[in-house]
């Protein structure tokens, strides 16, 4: 412990924790930029990373909605599905609106155009739900989004002729690259770039005056309203904003970037619970923490499909080998559940929160604030004693 304090003091007196954090973050970004260029890495490993980037977007956007704005929703996967399904249906069937004189054929709609339409559709549905429900307390939003998500999933599952049912719906490929290795590399950079862009935009919003209003609403809606914050407007705004982010992520990911088709199974409440768990493990009030929690969790869950266990004390199997492969199956999710229980019981701000908190130097600011307040209280008490 004493050694850690000495190292911490040396860092504070030299480079500083925040600068060290930025340095490490830069190294992480460089690693992700280098990773697909490593010829020893298979396309499967790149696919796992792409999936991790996708779930990092979903988890960090949910942290924006629930952790920063205080609006607890179970509809994230449904809005992701809306973005993907609408993009796929528009690219396949086009649209005709005779009253407005609009007639778009599938040939006239590009993959990018379909993705934009899917993103707008997710935001439009979020606007309707927000306008109907966000005048009420968050518990109503949670209950309604559970019902809405399940209703949407059942509709996509039962309308077989329209959506493909359990077989899923194929979206128009965003990239037309013949070489598999080159295509996977481009898809990797595309999803990583989308993650970085989404984090930067959400970070900018969270640290703007809008972010201050959102945090005030999270702490006390009545007090925020009394101070002049239009609570309903900003609740709807952040709900639509996060709905469009996940709609965009879903439309891109299922345009043959991370997966070639969207299936109703991806819209189950279990998938939504995983998004929430990732955010809780990383830290609900930290966009970067929630993203890191999602990526690390997805990677570990995939890596734990097969665990090689080496036998101790020179023991061997019947075939003479000194190790065996354990097909973990559902047990890896049981272990993930134990980690979640530990997090909620002992580290409610997330397993990664202490790391981000240390690098941000918030504890130093808190100590300085407490010390200044104590000094001011002592000074006021001394003045009062002199007056007496």
Helix axis angle for 43-62 and 269-282, nearest 10°, is 80
pLDDT value for 268 = 87
Taking only the tens of pLDDT, the chain with its 388 residues reads 566 565 666 665 666 777 777 888 889 999 999 988 887 778 888 999 999 999 999 999 999 999 898 888 899 999 999 999 999 888 877 665 545 456 666 676 788 888 999 999 999 999 999 898 887 766 788 888 999 999 999 999 998 888 888 888 888 888 877 788 888 889 999 999 999 999 999 999 999 999 999 999 888 888 888 888 888 899 999 999 999 999 999 999 998 887 878 888 888 888 898 899 999 888 888 899 899 999 999 988 888 877 666 667 666 666 666 666 667 777 777 888 888 888 888 887 788 877 877 777 665 544 544 445 555 555 555 655 566 5
pLDDT value for 12 = 59
Q: 360, 285 in Cβ contact below 8 A?
A: no
Q: How many residues does the chain have?
A: 388
Residue 329: helix, strand or coil by DSSP? coil
- Residue 37 CA neighbour count, 13 Å, CB half: 6
Q: 158, 267 in Cβ contact below 8 A?
A: no
d(CA 268, CA 146): 10
Of residues 91, 84, 89, the one with CA closest to residue 106: 91
d(CA 27, CA 195): 17
Q: 257, 50 in Cβ contact below 8 A?
A: yes
Instruction: Write down the H helix ranges in 36-110.
Output: 43-62, 76-93
Q: Give the helix/strand (H/E) hosting 342.
A: helix 331-346
| Partner residues linked to 104 by β-bridges | 95
d(CA 159, CA 10): 64
Of residues 2, 7, 33, the one with CA closest to residue 20: 7
Number of neighbours of residue 269 by Cβ within 10 angstroms = 14
- CA torsion sign for 154, 159, 160, 164 is negative
Q: 236, 127 in Cβ contact below 8 A?
A: yes
pLDDT value for 368 = 47
pLDDT value for 6 = 58
C-alpha distance from residue 294 to each of 27, 54, 58, 145, 185 (Å): 19, 9, 9, 22, 21
d(CA 385, CA 370): 22
């Amino acid at each position: 412990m004493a050694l850690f304090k000495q190292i911490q003091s040396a860092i504070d007196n030299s480079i500083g924790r925040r600068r060290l954090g930025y340095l490490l973050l830069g190294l992480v970004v460089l690693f992700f930029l280098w990773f697909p260029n490593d010829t020893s890495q298979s396309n499967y490993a790149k696919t796992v990373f792409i999936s991790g980037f996708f779930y990092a977007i979903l988890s960090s956007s949910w942290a924006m909605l629930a952790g920063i704005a205080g609006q607890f929703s179970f509809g994230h996967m449904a809005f992701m599905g809306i973005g993907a399904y609408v993009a796929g249906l528009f690219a396949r069937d086009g649209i005709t609106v005779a009253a407005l004189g609009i007639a778009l054929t599938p040939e006239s709609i590009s993959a990018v155009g379909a993705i934009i339409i899917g993103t707008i559709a997710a935001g439009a549905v979020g606007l309707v739900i927000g306008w109907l429900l966000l005048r009420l307390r968050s518990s109503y939003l949670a209950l309604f989004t559970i019902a809405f998500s399940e209703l949407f999933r059942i509709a996509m599952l039962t309308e077989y002729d329209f959506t493909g049912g359990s077989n899923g719906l194929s979206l128009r490929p965003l990239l037309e690259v013949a070489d598999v290795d080159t295509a996977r590399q481009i898809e990797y950079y595309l999803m990583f770039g989308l993650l970085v862009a989404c984090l930067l935009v959400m970070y900018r919003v969270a640290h703007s005056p809008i972010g201050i209003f959102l945090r005030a609403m999270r702490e006390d809606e009545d007090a925020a309203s009394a101070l002049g914050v239009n609570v309903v407007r900003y609740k709807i705004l952040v709900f639509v904003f996060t709905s469009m982010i996940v709609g965009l992520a879903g439309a891109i990911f299922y345009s043959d970037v991370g997966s070639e088709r969207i299936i109703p199974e991806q819209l189950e409440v279990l998938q939504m619970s995983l998004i929430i768990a990732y955010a809780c493990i990383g830290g609900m009030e930290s966009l970067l923490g929630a993203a890191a929690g999602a990526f690390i969790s997805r990677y570990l869950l995939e890596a734990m499909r097969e665990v090689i266990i080496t036998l101790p004390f020179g023991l061997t199997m019947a075939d003479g080998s000194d190790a065996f492969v354990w097909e973990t199956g559902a047990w890896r999710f049981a272990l993930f559940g134990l980690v979640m229980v530990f997090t909620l019981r002992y580290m409610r701000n997330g397993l990664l929160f202490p790391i981000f908190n240390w690098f941000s130097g918030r504890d130093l600011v808190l100590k300085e604030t407490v010390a200044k307040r104590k000094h001011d209280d002592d000074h006021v008490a001394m003045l009062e004693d002199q007056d007496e």
